[in-house]
Amino acid sequence: MRGKGQSRILIDATSRRSATCALALAILCALTLALTQSVQAQTYTVIHNFTDGPDGANPYAGLTLDAAGNLYGTSTLGGTGAGTVFKLRYVNSGWVFAPLYSFPVVGRKGLHNPTARVIIGPSGVLYGTTQYGGQGTCDLGNGGCGTVYSLRPFPTRPASVFAPWNETELYAFAGGTDGGQPGNGDLVFDPAGNLYGTTLLRGFEDNGVVYELMPSGGGWTESVVYSFTGANDGSTPNGGVIFDKAGNLYGTTTNGGTYGNGTVYQLTPSGSGWVKNILYSFHGGGDGANPIGGLIFDQSGNLYGTTGYGGSGFGGVVFELTPSNGSWTYTTLYGFTRSGSGTPPGPQGSLFMDAAGNLYGTTYADGAYGYGSVFELAPSNGGWSYSSLYDFTGGNDGCNPWGSVLLDAKGNLYGTASSCGADGYGVAFEITP
C-alpha cells in the first residue's frame, strides 16, 4: 500500500500522510473519544473504514444522499489506482458498502482522482468530475486536465466487480481556454438540463473558469461562462457555483481579488454572455481569507460560506452576505481558533443548513485535538451560538475532514474524514443526536 505522501493531488500535498496513534496515544484517543461523546450528547460512528483496496482511499468530498436514504461518495485514491465512486446502503442494523466504479490507471494520463462529490441527476444517474485524466497537460506528474463523467447501472451483468456501474466521459478538458483541473465543488444543473462547474486552472489567463456543458446530439458541448484574470475578479475557483431563483450564478475564488485573499462573485446572464460582479473581496484579517468551499442560500436569499484561513483566531471563519439595495453586506458569523498544525486549518467544504436555519460544517485541522471537527452554528438572540458536535482525535475515528456534511430527515449527520482511521486511509461517519 502506498502512503498519502506519494500522492500528487493539487489540493493539499501534506494531507496524504497516514496519521496513526502509538499504543499509549491510542489509549488516550479512546478515552478522549468517549469523553467527547458523553459531553456533547452525540454518538459518533464510523460507518466505513477505507482500506486502499477496492473500496478506495482518502475520501475528500463528503457524501450525497438520495431519496431512499442511500449515501454516495468518492475516494480520491485507491480502487484500481485512480479513485472510486461508492454507495453505502443501510441494511437491517448496519451500513453495507458497495463500490460502483473504480477509475483505471491507463498510461500517463490515466490518474483521474475524483475530489468532488457526485450529484444525482435525472433517472438516478450520477454526475461528477475528476481532477486529472482525459486530455491536455495540466500536471507533469499525472498529466491530463480532468473530466466530467456520468455513472449509471449496467442494463446487463457488469464486466467487472470493480465497475458494476457504467462510466461515460461527458467531457475531457484540454487545458486551454476551456479550463483545466476541476476542484472539489459540486456540479449543478439548470432547469434546461445543462451542467455548470468550475476548474482551478487554465482559461484565457490560467486562473480558472466557470463552464457550462450542454447536451447536444447525443454528446455534450462545453462553453466558458467566465474566465478569471487573477486580478480583482479573483483566481482558483475551487468551490463550484450555485443558482438563485433568477438564474444568476454565485461562487468563490480561493485567491486573487482586491487584497489577494479571494472573492465572492456573481455572474448574471446578459444577452449572449454573462456579466461578472464581485460581491466581496476578503481582506485577510478578521473577515477571513481564502475560501475553498462554495456557497449556500437561505430562504431569504442570504449567502453563507466559509474560509480556510484568517479570522480572529487564524482558523478560518463562517460568513454571511446579505443583499441590500443592490449591494451586499458582509458579516463574520464565527471565527475558529487554530489549534492544529494542518494546512489549511479551517473549513474546506460548503455549509449545510437545516429547516430551522442551523448551519453545519467541518474544519480540516481545528478542533480540540487539531485533527478537525464537525460543528453547528445556531441562530441565537440576534447572533449565532457555536457547538462542536465532534472533535476528531486522529485515531481510528479518522481525521482531517475536507468535505461538507449533510443531514437526513431523522437529524443524523453524515460525512467523510480524508485521513486516519483504522487503516490510515480515511472514513465515512455518522453522527446521531
Q: What is the 3-state secondary structure (H, E, C) of the chain?
A: CCCHHHCCCCCCHHHHCCCCCCHHHHHHHHHHHHHHHHHHCCEEEEEEECCCECCEECCCCCEEECCCCCEEEEECECCCCCCEEEEEEEECCEEEEEEEEECCCCCCCCCCCCCCCCEECHHHCEEEEECCCCCCCCCCCCCCCCEEEEEEECCCCCCCCCCCEEEEEEEECCCCCCCEEECCCCCEECCCCCEEEEEEECCCCCCCEEEEEEEECCEEEEEEEEECCCCCCCECCCCCEEECCCCCEEEEECEECCCCECEEEEEEEECCEEEEEEEEECCCCCCCECCCCCCEECCCCCEEEEECECCCCEEEEEEEEEEECCEEEEEEEEEEECCCCCCCCCCCCCCEECCCCCEEEEECCCCCCCCCEEEEEEEECCEEEEEEEEECCCCCCCECCCCCCEECCCCCEEEEECEECCCCECEEEEEEC
Burial of 277 (0-12, 13-18, 19+ CB in 10 A): middle
Quick one: pLDDT at residue 141? 62
Grid coordinates given for 356: 430551522
Q: Is residue 29's pLDDT more than 90?
A: no
Taking the C-alpha atoms of residue 316 and residue 306, their distance in angstroms, rounded to an integer, is 7
**One-letter amino acid of 118:** V
Taking the C-alpha atoms of residue 250 and residue 357, their distance in angstroms, rounded to an integer, is 20
Query: Could you give the C-alpha distances from 27 to 21, 30, 173, 420, 429, in angstroms and in order?
Result: 9, 5, 48, 16, 21
Q: Is residue 33's pLDDT more than 90?
A: no
CB 284 within 8 A of CB 314: no
Burial of 429 (0-12, 13-18, 19+ CB in 10 A): buried
Among residues of the chain, what percentage have pLDDT more than 90?
Answer: 75
pLDDT higher at 19 or 77 = 77
Phi and psi at 48, nearest 5°, equal: -160, 135
Residues ≥6 apart with Cβ < 8 Å to 322: 302, 303, 328, 329, 331
Q: Quickly state the pLDDT bin for 160 (edges 50, 70, 90).
A: low
Q: Tell me the pTM.
A: 0.88
Quick one: pLDDT at residue 173? 94
Taking the C-alpha atoms of residue 231 and residue 249, their distance in angstroms, rounded to an integer, is 20
Taking the C-alpha atoms of residue 279 and residue 304, their distance in angstroms, rounded to an integer, is 12
Work out the end-to-end distance of the chain between its first and last CA atoms, rounded to an integer number of angstroms. 36
Q: Is residue 304's pLDDT more than 50?
A: yes
The answer, yes or no, to whether the previous bond of 182 is cis (omega within 30 of 0) is no
Taking the C-alpha atoms of residue 319 and residue 18, their distance in angstroms, rounded to an integer, is 32
Residues facing residue 226 across a β-bridge? 210
Taking the C-alpha atoms of residue 277 and residue 234, their distance in angstroms, rounded to an integer, is 11
Q: Quickly state the pLDDT bin for 339 (edges 50, 70, 90).
A: confident
Give the mean pLDDT of 394-421: 97
Q: Is residue 357's pLDDT more than 60?
A: yes
- How do residues 274-293 score in pLDDT, each as one tens digit? 999 999 999 999 999 999 99
Quick one: pLDDT at residue 15? 37
Q: Is residue 36's pLDDT more than 50?
A: no
Give the mean pLDDT of 211-232: 95
Most confident of 99-108, 153-162, 315-324: 315-324
pLDDT, averaged across the chain: 88
pLDDT higher at 162 or 367 = 367
Taking the C-alpha atoms of residue 44 and residue 48, their distance in angstroms, rounded to an integer, is 12
Quick one: pLDDT at residue 217? 87
CB 342 within 8 A of CB 352: no
